[in-house]
Amino acid sequence: MGNQKSIGRLILRYSIIELLYTVFTLILFAFLLNFLVIKNIIYPASYLSEQLPIVEKNFKNKDWNVEDIPYFYDYRLVDGNKIIQTIDSKYDSYIKEAKKDGSAMNSVLFANRKFVYLKNGDKELTVSFRFSPIFTSKKLYQFIPNFEETYWLIFLVTWIIGFLLLVRRTSIIINRELAKVSQTNSYIKQMRLDYPRENSKYKEVNELLFSLDSMSEELKKSLELQWSMQDKEKELIQSVTHDIRTPITLIKGNLELLEEESKNHDNELIEDIQNGVERLEAYVSKLSNLSKEINSVGKKEFISKDVIDYWNNNLVSICQTNNRNLKVLNKDTNYKLLIDKEGIERALENIIMNSIENSQKSSDIFISYVSDELGYKIEVVDQGEGFDEERLQYYTDKYFTSKSNDGTEHGLGLYIVNDIVKENNGNLILGNAYKEGKIQGAKVALHFMIT
């Protein structure tokens, strides 16, 4: 802990390095410029001004001609009616000023240009040059006439490259430390709470990692407690379902004997008992499904023909076992939406079991698999008595009982269904199917939304 650094200190350190790098680059290019002058690769800025007396002296010679003007001067020669000019016409006003005052100077940020007027008899010569270093080689000068601008451009490019390298180095260090935070956060999201703990030599990052580690420890304790409670609940449900099945088996055996003995008598009482036993078996099946639901995490898959066939085949089997007809009205079999295949199967099983419990034998149960602009909807409609619309909002409450007389209850199944649908970014929609203003059955829709 004592050797930990601050990110602010890191940034300050690299800021100082950048400042030193800037100073070093300036000194380096100054020495380089001096080296080029010493090696006679370039003329210094003062050289062109120093050559003016020579140009003036040569201009007064009788055998002088325009070729005697050095290559680094622009000029305007007036010889009688003959005018030869290499100075850009935009400088004509300075030429006139030089003719009037002997010399003129334009004012710019870099490399001011001077104009000098010379006269020899009827010949008038105005020469122009910039106060800037130039190449001693005529060919190089013609290729790069603005040496100073080029030189500073090279300096700027060199400085930028170094600056970017230093910034990249700083960002690599910071990103490397932040990657530890990102990785830790990823472990926590994936519930991999026994992840390898990371440390950082930077105080701020280390404090953040410590906070995440503390949070993961608390989360782990909470989950362990929750898992322990779920295990106990699962064991309790399994124990209850096992204990209930034994007396149900005995009752069914005795019912078969009673049925044999009372063949010639009214069997209405025996049928009522059989219906009650079937209802008990349905609840035992629900408890078994609830046991599967606890501690289960489904693998998410895209909705496809195989997935829908997987659901449908299971639902057809349940309906056939309970003397109901499952009819598929629509079947959109390809949709790019990830869902928990096993979880949705359990949800549909609960809905179908509710429909079976609240409808007559040999009746139809309709199911539709439909895609729309919002997502994907699975809708189940039965031919039972439907929902009590005044109490519709309570059907997904845990342990809500819709019929107090015979113990029938939607609540546990629809409570589970509602949780599964929410986990898959969907909504559970309950309602009734109508025909000519009368309830024809319950309608349950699972609407999964596109994220």
**pLDDT digit string (tens) for 151-160?**
889 999 999 9
pLDDT digits (tens, 9 = 90+) for 293-321: 555 545 678 888 999 999 999 899 889 88
Amino acid 370: pLDDT = 92
- Model confidence pLDDT, tens digit, residues 81-115: 888 989 888 888 999 998 898 899 887 666 688 99
Stretch among 73-77, 286-290, 390-394 having the lowest mean pLDDT = 286-290
Q: What percent of the chain is predicted at pLDDT more than 70?
A: 81
What average pLDDT does range 422-433 have in this prediction? Answer: 91
- As given in the structure block, the two tokens for residue 247 are 């007396």
Q: What pLDDT shows up at residue 7?
A: 80
b/e string for 160-184 if b means 16 or more Cβ within 10 A?
A: eebeeeeeeebeeeeeebbebbeeb
Helix/strand/coil for 9: helix
Q: d(Cα 399, Cα 233) in Å, to the nearest integer?
A: 15
**Predicted local distance difference test score (pLDDT) of residue 60:** 86
Q: pLDDT confidence of 238, banded at 50, 70, 90?
A: low
pLDDT above 70 for 275 = no
What pLDDT is attached to residue 279? 63
Report pLDDT for 410: 41
74 Cβ contact list (under 8 Å, min separation 6): 86, 87, 88, 127, 128, 129
What contacts 24+ positions apart, CB below 8 Å, involve 16-25? 17/166, 18/163, 18/166, 21/159, 21/162, 21/163, 21/166, 22/159, 25/155, 25/158, 25/159, 25/162
Least confident segment among 102-111, 114-123, 126-135, 211-220: 102-111
Q: pLDDT higher for 118 or 282?
A: 118
CA nearest neighbour of 324 among 304, 297, 351, 291: 351
- What does the pLDDT look like over 387-396, one tens digit per residue? 988 888 888 8
User: CA 412 to CA 401: how far, in whole Å?
Assistant: 8
pLDDT of residue 383: 92
Upper half-sphere CA count for residue 277 (Cβ side, 13 Å): 18
| Pairing mode, strands 438-449 and 375-381 | antiparallel
- pTM, to two decimals: 0.47
